[in-house]
Amino acid sequence: MKTSEQHIDRILFTFVVLLMFIGLFVVFSSTIYIAGSKYNSGIYFLGKHFLRVLLGLAIIIFFAVFVDYSKLREYAPHIFIIVLLLLISVLIFGTGEAKRWLQVGPLGFQVSEFAKIGTIIFLSYLLEKNRDRIWDFKFGFLPLFGTVVLVFILVLLQKSFTMAFLIFSVGILLIFIAGAKFKHLALSISGGLPLLVFMFFIEPYRFQRLLAYINFSEAPNDAKHQALQALIGLGTGGLFGIGPGHSRQREFYLPLAYNDYIFSIFGEEYGFIGSLILLFIFFVIFYRGIRIARYVVDDFGRFLAVGITFLIFLTAVVHIGVVSRLLPPTGIPLPFVSYGGSAMIANCIGVGILLNISKQIKH
């Protein structure tokens, strides 16, 4: 019999580590000037990011090797209760202008990043439990849809529209895959559209971003500055890029270049070819995740694998779409590449669970 380590999807693990390795280079390149200017140390951000990468790797290995994913089924209701308590707590005690962060002593974390993993775990548990009656609108479908909407609203109240949208999209996808009637989904989503439109337009900055996206040429410079600088970075890169560490957009032209717009720096330094390679890495991770979901032996593991895989992949698609101006501007980090602790740790938990599932698939 093979050892558990031999069953882990090594291709998935390798490509995730590769992304993290790429992230170290791009974070260093995109922060060297701002770190030297603000902290008198060009490696200030790199040092912090390196520690988070090491912690992320440890978390991946821990969940992949030592945490049996099927045990998460037993704790799923408790995990979801913790998620709800955290989402409510951040609305009351949260720090920052948007109140997305909870501060516990010297440590601060973005609650929604961990809420997305907890929600997928609980929803996978509910889907397995209620799959035989998911066709029933009142007793099967509605509790599932209500769970997704509840988290969506709580995250939306944190002024995190993109994260709320990602959680909602993945939740609806899982419910649909589980066998929900299309008319139930269509009816429920259309019924909630007025609330969504209201929540979107109640914040002026969202409306301004949308207008700037629709009428880019006529938008004020301050409304389109980030999008314009991101496009300049991508365009400057050409076919092969201007070379590692030679980005000009990082020099105070592109705000949050090391986080929400890191793909622009990557495209500038490594060009169109490098960008295609990065996209290929994400597609490989997506393929391996779906493959795991296809061969897993139980519904809970299948829904969990699909949810985690799509969450990571859609986050990457949205980030790249925003930087390329294919989507309206919003703030979302590129998984495993962007600077940031909460997103890195939450995504590593997800990949660790995914790798643990891969140990128990039917070969």
> Does 185 fall in a domain?
yes
Give pLDDT, residue 128. Answer: 94
> Does 89 fall in a domain?
yes
Give pLDDT, residue 362. Answer: 67
Q: What is the mean pLDDT of residues 3-17?
A: 81
Give pLDDT, residue 170. Answer: 96
Cα–Cα nearest to 145, from 194, 178, 112: 178
pLDDT exceeds cutoff 70 at 218: no
> Does 296 fall in a domain?
yes
Lowest mean per-residue pLDDT among 98-107, 154-163, 279-288:
98-107
| Mean pLDDT, the chain, integer | 89
pLDDT exceeds cutoff 60 at 189: yes
The model's confidence at residue 164, banded by pLDDT at 50, 70 and 90, is very high
Lowest mean per-residue pLDDT among 112-121, 253-262, 280-289, 309-318:
253-262
> Does 363 fall in a domain?
no
The model's confidence at residue 263, banded by pLDDT at 50, 70 and 90, is very high
Residue-by-residue DSSP string for 21-48: HHHHHHHHHHHHHHHHHHHS-TTHHHHH
Tokens representing 180 are: 């929900």
pLDDT exceeds cutoff 60 at 5: no
pLDDT exceeds cutoff 70 at 252: no
Our count of domains for the chain comes to 1
Q: Which domain holds residue 232?
A: 4-358
Q: What is the mean pLDDT of residues 121-126?
A: 97
Task: Please tell me whether the overall predicted TM-score, pTM, comes out greater than 0.85 for this model.
Answer: yes
pLDDT, one tens digit per residue, over 225-250 is 788 888 888 999 999 999 998 888 87
pLDDT exceeds cutoff 80 at 339: yes
Lowest mean per-residue pLDDT among 79-93, 196-210, 258-272, 322-336:
196-210
Give pLDDT, residue 363. Answer: 56
Lowest mean per-residue pLDDT among 16-20, 68-72, 118-122, 232-236:
232-236
Residue with tokens 């314009």: 228
Length of the chain: 363
3-state secondary structure of 333: coil
> Does 137 fall in a domain?
yes
> Does 306 fall in a domain?
yes
Give pLDDT, residue 215. Answer: 72
pLDDT, one tens digit per residue, over 272-327 is 999 999 999 999 999 999 999 999 989 999 999 999 999 999 999 999 999 998 98
Residue-by-residue DSSP string for 72-131: HHHHHHHHHHHHHHHHHHHHHH-BTTTT-EEEETTEEEEHHHHHHHHHHHHHHHHHHHHG
Lowest mean per-residue pLDDT among 34-38, 117-121, 135-139, 249-253:
249-253
The model's confidence at residue 76, banded by pLDDT at 50, 70 and 90, is very high
Residue 228 burial class via C-beta count within 10 angstroms: exposed 0-12, middle 13-18, buried 19 and up: middle
pLDDT, one tens digit per residue, over 22-58 is 999 999 999 998 888 888 898 999 999 999 999 999 9
Please count the other Cβ atoms lying within 10 Å of the Cβ belonging to residue 287.
Answer: 15
Q: What is the mean pLDDT of residues 188-198?
A: 77
The model's confidence at residue 2, banded by pLDDT at 50, 70 and 90, is very low
The model's confidence at residue 104, banded by pLDDT at 50, 70 and 90, is confident
